[in-house]
Amino acid sequence: MPPTPLGKPTRRTILKATAGALGVAAVSGVAAGSDEYDPFKPETVGKSSDNVTNVGYHSLGGIGGESTAGRPENPHYGGVTEIRTHGDYAFVSLFSSRTETDGRGVAIVDISDYNRAETQADVEQAEMTVLSFFGNQSPGTAIMDVKGSADGNYLFLGTQPISALYNEVTTGTDSDADSTSGTNTGGLIAVDITDKGNPTVVGTFDAFSTGIHNLFHHRIGGADYVFACKDIEYAGDAGMYVFEFHRDTGLLELVNRWTVPEEPNTDAAPFPFFYCHDVEVQDDPKTGTPTAYLSYWDAGLQVLDVSDPTSITRIGRFEMRQAHFATPAPDLVDGKRVCIASHEEPSGDYDEGVEEKTNPKSTGTVFLVDVDGVYEEAGTTELPELDNWTWQNAAAIDGVDDISFTNFALSPHNSTVEKHLDPETGDENFWVHQAHYHGGLRYLRIDPASWTLKEDGWSRPQYDVPEDSMLGGLNATTPNIWGADESNGVTFASDINQGVHAIYNAEIPISGATPVVALSRSDDGSVFTGGQTDHVTLSVDYAGEPVLVRDRLPESWSVVDGDDHTTSLEGGARMVEFTTPVSEADGVRNYFAEAPTGVEATGDYTFGPVEFSHDGGETWHEIKATTEVNTVGGVDTNTLTLGTIGGTAGVFYHQREKVLSAVRGLFED
Q: What would the DSSP string read from start to end of 321-370?
A: SSEEEEEE-SS-BTTB-EEEEEE---THHHHHT-TT-SSSSBS--EEEEE
Instruction: Please compute the mean of the pLDDT values over residues 163-174 and round it to a whole number.
Output: 63
Q: Which tens digit of pLDDT belongs to each residue from 407-438?
A: 888 999 999 999 998 878 878 999 999 999 99
CB atoms within 10 A of CB 156: 25
Please tell me what DSSP assigns to residue 571.
T
| Maximum pairwise Cα distance, the chain | 81
CA-based nearest residue to 655, from 305, 310, 301, 261: 305
Q: Which domains does the chain have, with CATH numbers?
A: 8-505 (2.130.10.10), 518-667 (2.60.40.10)
pLDDT band at residue 500 under the 50/70/90 scheme: very high
Q: Which tens digit of pLDDT belongs to each residue from 623-633?
A: 876 888 888 98
Please tell me which residue, 605 or 639, carries the higher pLDDT value.
Answer: 605
What is the structure's pLDDT at 590? 95
Q: Which tens digit of pLDDT belongs to each residue from 262-319?
A: 765 544 444 445 689 999 999 998 888 999 999 998 889 999 999 999 999 999 999 9
pLDDT band at residue 235 under the 50/70/90 scheme: low
What is the rounded CA–CA span in Å between residue 434 and residue 441?
Answer: 6
- Which range among 227-231, 346-350, 491-495, 638-642 has the greatest average pLDDT? 491-495
Whether 316 and 306 have beta carbons less than 8 Å apart is answered as no
What is the structure's pLDDT at 215? 98
Q: Please report, for residues 358, 412, 504, 572, the alpha-carbon distance to residue 442 in angstroms, rounded to integers and kept in the order given.
A: 19, 9, 12, 37
Whether 529 and 601 have beta carbons less than 8 Å apart is answered as no
CB atoms within 10 A of CB 335: 9
What is the rounded CA–CA span in Å between residue 115 and residue 110?
Answer: 10
Indicate the pTM of the whole model.
0.80
SS3 state at 307: coil
pLDDT band at residue 352 under the 50/70/90 scheme: very low
Query: Which range, of 366-370, 419-423, 555-559, averages the lowest pLDDT?
Result: 419-423
SS3 state at 506: coil
Q: Please report, for residues 5, 29, 330, 432, the alpha-carbon distance to residue 366 in angstroms, rounded to integers and kept in the order given.
A: 36, 25, 17, 10
Let me know if 592 is exposed, middle or buried by CB neighbors in 10 A (0-12, 13-18, 19+): middle
